Amino acid sequence: MSHQTPLGTSVPHTSCLDLWREKNDQLVRQAKVAQDSGLSLRRQQLAQDALEGFRGLLHSLRGLPAAVPVLPLELTVTCNFITLKASLAQGFTEDQAQDIQQGLERGVPQTRSTFVTFGLLQKEKSRDEVPTSAVCLSSTVLETQKKLGPRLECGLRGLWDSVLHYSTLLLEVLPALHHLAGLQAAIWLSTDCLGDLTFLLQTLNGNQSEASENLLLLLKTWSPPAEESDVPLTLQDARGLRDILLTASAYRQGLQELITGSLPRALSSLQEAASGLCSRPVLVQVYTALGTCLRKMGNPQRALLYLAAALKGGSTCGPPLLEASRLYRQLGNTAAELESLELLVEALNVTHSFEAPQLLIEVELLLPRPHPASPLHCGTQSQAKYLLASRCLQVGRAEDAAEHYLDLLALVLDGSESKFFPPPSPPGPCMPEVFLEAAAALIQAGRAQDALTVCEELLSRTSSLLPKMPQLREDARKGTKESPHCPSWVSATYLLQGQAWVQLGAPKEAISEFSRCLELLFRTTPKDEEQGPASNGEKECISDVALQQLRAAALISRGLQWVTIGQDTKALQDFLLSVQMCPGYQDASFHLLQTLRRMDRRHEATALWWRLKAQTELPQENAAWSLPLYLETYLDWIHSPDRETLLEEFQTSLPEPPDL
Amino acid sequence: PSGALLSAVWLLLGLAGAWGRQVLAAGEGRSLAAPRLDSFPAQVWQLELSAVPGLLYVLCARRGIYCLSPDPKSDGSDRDSEDGELPCALISVDPDACLLPDAALCTFTVVADKLVTLAQGPAHWKVQLFECPRPGEDARPRGQVGEVELSISSPLTGPLGEPTAPRFLPVLRCVSPAGPSTLLSRVQGSGGFLLERALFGLLFGVDASLLESPVILCGLPDGQLCCVVLKTLVTSKLSPGDPKALVKILHHLEEPVVFIGAVKTGSSAQDVGDTHPDCLVALGHDGRVLTIKAGCDEAGTLVPALREYRLPGPVLCAACGGGGRVYHSTTSELCVVDLAQGGVPSGDLGDPPSLLCPAGLGVCSVVTLSVLSEVPEGTRGLLALSTRGRLMTCRLQLSSEVSGPTRAAAASTGQKIKDLLSGIGTVSERLSSLRKAVEQRNKALTCLNEAMNVSCILLSGREGPKPISCTVTTAWSRPQLQDVLTATFWLENSSGLCLDRGWTLCVQVLTSASASDSDMASAATTYTIPVDRLGPGDRREVTLPLGPGEDGVLHLPLTVSCALHYSLREVMGGARAPSESSKDSSDECCPDVLPEQDGISLPLCEHTVDVLWCLRFPGLAPAHTQAPGLLGPLCDPVDTFLGSFLGPRSEPTGPASLRAKFLPPSVATIKVSAELLRAALGDHHSGTSLDCAALQWLLAENAALDVVRARQLSSVQGVAPDGADVHLTVREVAMTDLGAAGPLQTVEIQVQSSSPASLCGTHHAVIGRLQVMVVEQAARIPGPPDLRVQCLQQTYSSHETLLREVQTLRDRLCTEDEATLHATAQRLLQVHRQLRSPSLLLV
């Protein structure tokens, strides 16, 4: 109260100040009661009421001209208000930044004028210097206030600079100001304004470590002044906030470094985060990230230790299980990999109990929004199921794969009761492809009839979207150049249906399906991609290369069926076409060679043999493109089994090698 | 009973408008026991009834969603059958019934066992998916199962950081693909609708139609129409939905979306069996209609066909029902338009939307509409709620339904002509208002152009007099008992341009702060005088009082600055007016778009009015006109006091001699080198002696200048504004002791007054002018004449000592008591006098 006289401003009556302070303390206690009451509705209401109370209190406090004796209380109420608001909304918004700005703007003139008064009283000779600097400051503050509308951040930075610069003389304001600075740091951390954050921390540390740009170091050096016992109550004290900030920024930094690939630094940052103060779910995340980091650094055993620790940690065991499956895959331990995936599916089946968040600023609030590309993204149960099914198919466990695919389809197609959702299309395959993979797995597992059912289901569900078959035939008869666009997965469905018939031993049906497939495939021209966004928006799930392969596969399949029913001429035609279609694809050539040999067309066979021999001597160009899984599986089926022996046999049967 | 409940569903949906805090559910024309609901804590925005668990969801403004079980308690305690009213059962609204307390919720919908909500965030809309409570279970949110954010272009927060109250609420509807497996009741009961599979697949993708997933359609107040496939709305804390993958924007309506529905147009009726709607309809508030159908391009591929139409707006609410009919309510009429008819013009998207001609039904001010499902054959029923709270059922005979070109009977022809005539009337009205707007805009542009020209000529830094100038003269007048100094401004337009409406002359009078309270900001008064058309060559005279102010003291010097101000508000206001008037009054176009001070301001001149402007010379006045404002002999209390001091014995004397006796006049002199002065005055002094010319120069702005010039005076006796006499004498003297090379020719200006204040004021004014002159002449004069430095040094050192003494005396003045105060003051006066002689010399 010693500044009352020199200031000459109207300071409210002491009892009024006490009243407000009492109100603040009561609201803080109410929020803590809300925190502890488990009943979610009552808790929500209590917390909401407390928030409104703080808002009203702040309103009353701001109704008076700002004065130094009231300032600590006002800043504390602002801090409590922001803390409660952010924790209720589970995130920071621009509102909070504005709240801070308003608090500062009220603080600035006060701290400045007090400072001026101080200066005048303390040193007579400094009379000439202080007012000029004060005038400069006031003009800059006014300018910043004018500019604040659009460029809030820049202005906030300036405000902080001036406030902290002048408030070092006002000891009673300092704790509350540091608390507010902590909240500002939280906002800047959560919005990734690291430049501003570094600047703020440097200013808070008194610029003594100006050279240091290291955020973690700055946070560690920052020690908010200890709160005395007689200050107004706070929901969260500045030191606690500092610890939260330290953990959150260490984790953020570690995750960032993990994604960008600077692994040793990521490891140290993450270890810093793991040693900090955080809740169990966050600890699970940190341990999982550590596991990922160590796996990438080539330390699978240490990674496993961390993952085990993460699994012990708590209810959210999705990410560590997914990470474990990646680890086992890297180690080549297929059984363990599939087992962890199965566990992952189980784990994701459990609904998370709706846990009420704390009414404090927590580490979770300051973490970036999980991105699908993040190593910690584990998706939903159906996504995990899909991963499991496709891995089974890839490693050759066809039976398991078929079962998992059928489970997955049941899961996503089951109408209203379905609790979990299909894989979102960008990272995974689109829904029709999942059906196709299921059909392929069923065929692989020898369940051709089931595969046919799956294919029919797919076609019937999308029938309204497809051009009608009679219409297609009509078009073909009329010979119109323009033909309706048909997605490639429709052709692929016919292809798989044909293969199912092959397995069932019905070559006629198979040939008819393959013909339908080819008919559609040769209509599908890539020019359809120019369709605007207003069209059905279904982007083609398949690349040009895959389309070529699909055509070749269909031709070869039909050729093989012609062979089966003894129509070698037609088979030859198809094999020739497929070789033309896809010259780099050797299986077609081998099938052609075999047919030519069987038909005893030696000249052509010899020419083809030479060509093939030259090709095999060349370094086999690896298929860099990724084919859809169902197509890969399909190509395995029509792979000619013993190429080498065929070549050998042919060579011996040749009369004499022509001289070069 | 569930059957009765189900029939009440439609009524509740019909009531789901912003009606009030009480909700009444009434039976559909039958005497059904109607449950009455207790008061809600705030305005009810939306009602939904989920049929299967039998729960009523109510959205209260800024409170959240309440969940009630509308089964009336059959205790009969609340029955009130005496009045003959329907028996009502009361359902109490418990605060615990609040299912989702969230102030930001704007709308919601129920899809099977899921609750989809749309909440307003500071920079986005948030779609959230919750599990509904099961019947019998405690009404508590069972956890959020999905969340995605819809981004918008403009932020939703107001200036105070609080979300502004939405003027329009968003629309949320659930669309399901029609199919054998879809239960009609399940979808319709929750306010959703079915859509033909081909269109569904086209709009929402293969995945959605393969999964037969319901799709949430959102119509936002900013005009966006977007969709979210419900089954892809993934969630957990670790993986919220990625808006880019989940949200698809179908269209931008560019006006608030008020309704989304679907109709059966039947144009693609190859398969007659399909009775599901095949056309998605969205209505904007201002009457824009969007329809989306499945069409084929030239290659035969299915593509969505978007069309836009216009309806007369503003649309308050709408409903779809029965074939292709869309009912919509404007403020004046409830209209129906049939989109299924061939008469609907087919324009492509991108063409200007064609105007639809709806048929009026003769009902006005309907805020909520619902199409009844259970009506007798051949009719169509509508349930409507008016703004005043009247619930109406309308039965339309299908046979007499309007807008059927095949049934263009004679009776309907008359109606049609009437409609056409009224349509013509509307068009001509609109035309005239548009024409008016264009005219006003042209006028505003012309005004702006002129303002621009005026600014150009005034701001082009040409030498010489400006083409538009303002000159100032001052004079004393006595309108009431008090003397008033008035300034007369002559605004002269010698340019070829015309200052028209919108220009104002701004005169700012800045009072210099008095020396005693330097902290006090100097007071400024601004006068704005509209310049109402000042043509080329015109002059305008404006007279303003300068003082004395309310305290009766004229604080000199005053700074008077004149500027021309052009108000943009004046011009813009004229152009903005028609568009504002065309909108309804509730549509407040914020009037504070232009800040108060916005305009063009062109400075014209600035003058400092000092004592020399205001001196009055009663002795010079012509004999017949007594100079106004001279104080009478007995006005001054000092003189009265001095007179009484002399006693009654002495003969009465004039005030001047009295003062001379008691208060010896103070004198201040300034010497200027004649050479300097001659150079400064230039040719002004030709024909007169230098001293006369100097005096004329000093009194250049005084009203007495002409007399002084005519009589060739070199000395005048005047009266200062405070009534004290001031003697101003100019004479040429030669200074012998200073010049190194002989005597220095100087002009001495002597100010003499009995009042120290007047002396100081006049002295200050004279010095001020000389200062300006010296600064101006410093560049032209080759250099000061040779002076005897020793003499100057001597003067300087003596002044130093005197100044130090002044300082000590002043310090002592503050501390001393009454007794010695007088002596100190005397001494101070003496020292000041000594300081003034030898006088200031300017060379």
pLDDT tens digits along B225-246: 998 888 777 655 545 556 667 7
- Which among A205-209, A566-570, B675-679 has the top mean pLDDT? A566-570
Check if the beta carbon of residue A579 is closer than 8 Å to that of residue A588: yes
Residue of A321, A421, A433, A458 to mutate, interface with B, max B Cβ within 10 Å: A421
Please state the rounded mean pLDDT for residues A354-364.
Answer: 70
Check if the beta carbon of residue B740 is closer than 8 Å to that of residue B756: no
- Which among A473-477, B197-201, B266-270 has the top mean pLDDT? B197-201
Q: Do A465 and B239 touch (CB under 8 A)?
A: no
- CA of A506, closest CA in chain B: separation in Å? 29
Please state the rounded mean pLDDT for residues B617-641.
Answer: 54
pLDDT of residue A545: 75
Q: Do B143 and A353 touch (CB under 8 A)?
A: yes
Q: How far apart are CA A38 and CA A49, in angstroms?
A: 17
pLDDT tens-digit profile of B660-713? Answer: 566 667 788 888 887 778 877 776 666 777 878 888 888 888 777 778 778 887
- CA of B337, closest CA in chain A: separation in Å? 26
Which of A170-184, A211-225, A587-601, B798-812 comes out lowest in average pLDDT? A211-225
Mean pLDDT of chain B: 72
Report pTM: 0.61
pLDDT of residue B765: 86
Q: Is the confidence at residue A243, as pLDDT, over 70?
A: yes
Q: Is the confidence at residue B464, as pLDDT, over 80?
A: no
Q: Is the confidence at residue B470, as pLDDT, over 50?
A: yes
For B19, the token pair is 């009606």
Q: Is the confidence at residue A135, as pLDDT, over 50?
A: no
Q: What share of chain A is helix, strand, coil (3-state, %, to 5)?
A: 70, 0, 30
Residue of B164, B206, B207 to mutate, interface with A, max A Cβ within 10 Å: B206
Q: Percent of chain B scored above 70 by pLDDT?
A: 65
| Backbone phi, psi, residue B490, to 5° | -110, 110
Check if the beta carbon of residue B509 is closer than 8 Å to that of residue B546: yes
Q: Is the confidence at residue B574, as pLDDT, over 60?
A: no
Check if the beta carbon of residue B326 is closer than 8 Å to that of residue B337: yes
Q: Is the confidence at residue B298, as pLDDT, over 70?
A: no
pLDDT tens-digit profile of B186-201? Answer: 545 556 788 888 888 8
Q: How far apart are CA A653 and CA A643, in angstroms?
A: 15
CA B748 to centroid of chain Cα atoms: 59
Please state the rounded mean pLDDT for residues A233-258.
Answer: 85
For B45, the token pair is 């925005």
Contacts of B25 (CB under 8 A, 6+ apart): B8, B11, B12, B15, B34, B35, B36, B37, B70
- Which among A122-126, A654-658, B713-717 has the top mean pLDDT? B713-717
pLDDT tens-digit profile of A384-443? Answer: 888 888 888 888 888 889 999 988 888 777 754 444 454 444 445 677 888 888 999 999
- CA of B211, closest CA in chain A: separation in Å? 5
Query: Using 50, 70 and 90 to split pLDDT, how confident is the model at B376?
Result: low
Q: Is the confidence at residue A313, as pLDDT, over 80?
A: no
If one compares B781 and B755, the residue with the highest pLDDT of the two is B755
Domain ranges of chain B: 468-578+595-611, 614-633+653-786
Residues in B touching A482 (Cβ below 8 Å): 298-300
Q: How far apart are CA A61 and CA B611, in angstroms?
A: 51
Q: Is the confidence at residue B389, as pLDDT, over 80?
A: no
Closest CA to A47 of A32, A58, A26, A60: A32
Please state the rounded mean pLDDT for residues A174-186.
Answer: 84
Closest CA to A402 of A446, A432, A433: A446
Q: Is the confidence at residue A82, as pLDDT, over 50?
A: yes
Q: Measured at the alpha carbon of residue A388, what is the angle toward residues A387 and A391, in degrees to the nearest 5?
A: 85
Length, in residues, of chain A: 660
Closest CA to A492 of A449, A559, A439, A413: A439
Q: Do B301 and A528 touch (CB under 8 A)?
A: yes
Please state the rounded mean pLDDT for residues A268-282.
Answer: 82
If one compares A475 and A288, the residue with the highest pLDDT of the two is A288
pLDDT of residue B167: 74
pLDDT of residue B583: 38
pLDDT of residue B49: 75
For residue B2, give the 3-state DSSP assignment: helix
Mean pLDDT of chain A: 74
Q: Do B299 and A430 touch (CB under 8 A)?
A: no
pLDDT tens-digit profile of B37-68? Answer: 657 777 788 888 776 667 788 888 877 888 87
pLDDT tens-digit profile of B398-456? Answer: 544 444 433 445 556 777 777 787 777 777 777 888 898 899 888 888 888 888 888 88
Give residue for tokens 């000439």.
A128
Check if the beta carbon of residue B472 is closer than 8 Å to that of residue B605: yes
Rounded to 10 degrees, the C-alpha dihedral B827/B830/B836/B838 comes to: -110
pLDDT tens-digit profile of A332-344? Answer: 888 888 888 888 8
- A536 interface with B at CB cutoff 8 Å: yes
Q: Is the confidence at residue B722, as pLDDT, over 60?
A: yes
Q: Do A482 and B209 touch (CB under 8 A)?
A: no
B467-496 b/e with 16+ CB inside 10 Å = b? bbbbebebbbeeeeeebbbebebebbbebe
Q: How far apart are CA B373 and CA A373, in angstroms?
A: 49
Nearest CA in chain A to B203: A536
| Backbone phi, psi, residue B750, to 5° | -115, 130
Q: Is the confidence at residue A330, as pLDDT, over 80?
A: yes
- B161 interface with A at CB cutoff 8 Å: yes
pLDDT tens-digit profile of A625-639? Answer: 677 888 888 888 887
Provide the CATH number for the domain formed by B468-578+595-611 in this structure.
Answer: 2.60.40.10
Rounded to 10 degrees, the C-alpha dihedral B98/B103/B105/B110 comes to: 0
Check if the beta carbon of residue A207 is closer than 8 Å to that of residue A153: no
If one compares A388 and A532, the residue with the highest pLDDT of the two is A388
For A286, the token pair is 């940190």
Check if the beta carbon of residue B497 is closer than 8 Å to that of residue B450: yes
Given A421, A465, A475, which is nearest B209 (Cβ)?
A465
pLDDT of residue A116: 44
Q: Which A positions 325-384 lie with beta carbon below 8 A of chain B?
A: 351-354, 369-372, 376-380
Q: What is the DSSP letter of B739?
A: B
Residues in B touching A416 (Cβ below 8 Å): 112-113, 186
Query: Using 50, 70 and 90 to split pLDDT, how confident is the model at B623?
Result: very low
pLDDT of residue B89: 58
Q: Do B161 and A379 touch (CB under 8 A)?
A: no
Given A377, A528, A534, which is nearest B304 (Cβ)?
A534
Three-state secondary structure string covering A127-153? HHHHHHHHHHHHHHHHHHHHHCCCCHH
Residue A65, preceding peptide bond in cis (omega within 30° of 0): no
Q: Do B239 and A94 touch (CB under 8 A)?
A: no
Given B121, B181, B210, which is nearest A431 (Cβ)?
B210
Please state the rounded mean pLDDT for residues A501-513.
Answer: 87
Q: How far apart are CA B610 and CA B617, in angstroms?
A: 16
Q: Which B positions 191-210 lie with beta carbon below 8 A of chain A?
A: 196-198, 200-203, 205-207, 209-210
pLDDT of residue A168: 64
